[in-house]
Each structure stands twice: as C-alpha cells, then as structure tokens.
C-alpha cells in the first residue's frame, strides 16, 4: 500500500483515539458530553445488565485478541507492519465509541456523598487518574504506543525500533501505572450508580486478568530474566507494597 495512504490512515486512527479518550473522561465522569454513563432512558435491569456486559466483552475480546503476538504476526503477513498499531488503536477506539453510544444507564445510586469537600477531593482524584494514564503513555513511548512512530518511520523508509523496557518514573513504583490510572478514574466518583459500579467492576476484572495472564506473559517472553526481576521488586498495581521500589537501573532492554 502507498506510504502516504498508510500515513493518513495512521493520523485518522490517532484522531479517532483522541476523540474516544477525551470522550471517556466525560462519559465516566458524567461531565459535558451528551451521552454519559448515567444519562439516557432507562430500560429493565436485566436487559441493561446483559447489554452492558456484552458491550464491555466486545471491547475486551477485540483488545486482547489484537494484542497477541500471534495476531500481530498474522496481520503483518497481509498488511504493512506500519499499519498494525494504528489498526489496533482505531478498532479499540471504535469499540469504545460503540460502548458510549449503546451503554444502558442503570441509575440506582449505590453510594454517594453530599459533602462538598469529599466531592471536590473525589473529582480531583478522578482527574489525577486520567492524568496518570496520559503521563504513563509518554513514559513508555506515546508515539510508538499509538502507531505514530511507525507511520512516520514508514514514510522515511525506516523500520521503527522496538520500544525500550521502562522501569523508571512511575514504572519504578508500579509495573502498570497506566492501568492504575484507569482504576483510579473508574472508581473515584462522588456518586456511584449501579451502571457505573458495573462498569468499574467489569473493567477492573478485565484489567487484572489481561495484565496478569496476557501482557505480563508476553513481556516475560520478550524480556526474560529482567522482567522476572522487575516483577519481584516492583508491585503490580498498588505502590509501596514491596520492599524495593525499583527493579534495575539499566533500562536499555528492548521489547521484542
Ligand atoms: C496500554 S500499554 C499498558 C502498559 C502497562 N500495562 C501499564 O499499565 O502501564 C500496553 C503496552 O505497554 C507495553 N509495556 C508494558 N510494560 C512496559 C514497560 N515496563 N516498559 C515498556 N513498555 C511496557 C506492553 O508491551 C504493551 O505493548
């Protein structure tokens, strides 16, 4: 395929991701966006539960299958390797937009606070969570993670180097700061509806399963002993739960 078309495809994918990411803040936080987690007409509890779990499962399946090294290998036998990450980002973002669109509100309040201070603090923690997510993407490699490095390098006839294994900054405190950011953002709310609680429970379960059984397995395979040492020394998600907060000073390992 023409390099310029791949470039435009990558840029469009990134724009769709930006829209899905920014919308996610409004959707989960019930702010600004026209359709949020608690807005819209309510249906029966059973049908809402079923539809919402199905929606989240579609995202989980798409995300997990496309992140597998075997899938990436297969994809690159058909399409340019430069398109692989952009396609992953595009389909993940479309799956997210589909969730926002079809999400069935379940507005029964499970817990809430009326204290003004608590509301401000929880709101601040919510935004802190999203901030951690964004910051973590730059600590790994934002451009590579979202396919931009690949499409730029492809234009210059260059192969994008594999990403560096990061063990510094937030990655010195937990192995999955990006996921920690999501967990904070999904749970920190002054008013927890049944729908929001369902969203938080299902996404938390998925994050733990995907990280432990898929991502870490792949990283161990790609990095080997160094990743095992990192696992021993740095907590998975909750900071300060291991005596050493730092794995190895040398982060010059590439992820194959
Ligand atoms: C969406 S990011 C999430 C990273 C990590 N699970 C987190 O929560 O911060 C997924 C990508 O990050 C990469 N990754 C995970 N840990 C990494 C590390 N310590 N250094 C560099 N890349 C990492 C994985 O290989 C995967 O391609």
pLDDT in tens, 126-164: 999 999 999 999 999 999 999 999 999 999 999 999 899
Note whether residue 191 is domain-resident.
Answer: yes
Residue identifier of the C-alpha nearest atom 3 of ligand 1 = 178
Residue identifier of the C-alpha nearest atom 12 of ligand 1 = 140
pLDDT of 54 reads: 98
Is pLDDT above 70 for 79?
Answer: yes
**Stated pTM of the model:** 0.94
CA of 104 to the centre of ligand 1 (A): 31
Note whether residue 116 is domain-resident.
Answer: yes
* ipTM tops the 0.85 cut: yes
Note whether residue 255 is domain-resident.
Answer: no
pLDDT, mean over the chain = 94
Which residue range forms the structural domain that includes residue 215?
3-233
Note whether residue 242 is domain-resident.
Answer: no
Rounded CA separation 118/211 (Å): 31
**Structural domain count, the chain:** 1
Is pLDDT above 70 for 247?
Answer: no
Note whether residue 117 is domain-resident.
Answer: yes
Ranges of beta strands (E only) in 83-202 are 109-112, 191-193
Note whether residue 112 is domain-resident.
Answer: yes
Residue 255 · residue 162 · CB < 8 Å: yes
Residue identifier of the C-alpha nearest atom 26 of ligand 1 = 215
CA of 136 to the centre of ligand 1 (A): 9
Rounded CA separation 186/16 (Å): 21
Residue identifier of the C-alpha nearest atom 27 of ligand 1 = 145
211 Cα nearest atom in ligand 1 = 6
Is pLDDT above 80 for 190?
Answer: yes
Ranges of beta strands (E only) in the chain are 109-112, 191-193
166 Cα nearest atom in ligand 1 = 20
pLDDT of 197 reads: 98
Contacts of 89 (CB under 8 A, 6+ apart): 13, 14, 16, 17, 146, 147
Note whether residue 121 is domain-resident.
Answer: yes
Element (H, E) at 138: helix 116-140
């Amino acid at each position: 395929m023409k390099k310029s078309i791949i470039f435009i495809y990558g840029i469009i994918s990134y724009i769709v991701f930006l829209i899905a990411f920014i919308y996610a803040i409004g959707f989960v936080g019930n702010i600004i966006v026209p359709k949020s987690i608690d807005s819209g007409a309510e249906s029966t509890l059973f049908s809402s539960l079923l539809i919402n779990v199905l929606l989240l499962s579609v995202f989980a399946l798409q995300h997990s299958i496309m992140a597998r090294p075997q899938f990436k290998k297969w994809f690159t036998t058909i399409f340019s390797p430069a398109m692989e990450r952009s396609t992953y980002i595009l389909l993940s973002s479309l799956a997210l937009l589909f969730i926002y669109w079809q999400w069935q509100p379940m507005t029964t309040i499970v817990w809430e606070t009326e204290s003004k201070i608590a509301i401000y603090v929880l709101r601040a923690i919510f935004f802190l969570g999203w901030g951690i997510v964004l910051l973590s993407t730059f600590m790994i490699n934002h451009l590579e993670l979202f396919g931009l490095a690949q499409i730029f390098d492809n234009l210059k006839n260059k192969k994008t180097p594999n990403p560096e294994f990061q063990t510094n900054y937030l990655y010195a405190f937990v192995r999955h700061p990006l996921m920690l950011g999501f967990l904070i953002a999904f749970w920190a709310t002054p008013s927890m509806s049944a729908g929001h609680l369902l969203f938080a429970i299902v996404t938390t379960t998925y994050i733990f399963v995907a990280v432990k059984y898929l991502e870490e397995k792949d990283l161990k395979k790609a990095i080997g002993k160094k990743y095992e040492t990192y696992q021993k020394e740095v907590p998975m998600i909750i900071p300060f739960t291991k005596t050493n907060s730092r794995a190895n000073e040398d982060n010059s390992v590439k992820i194959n």
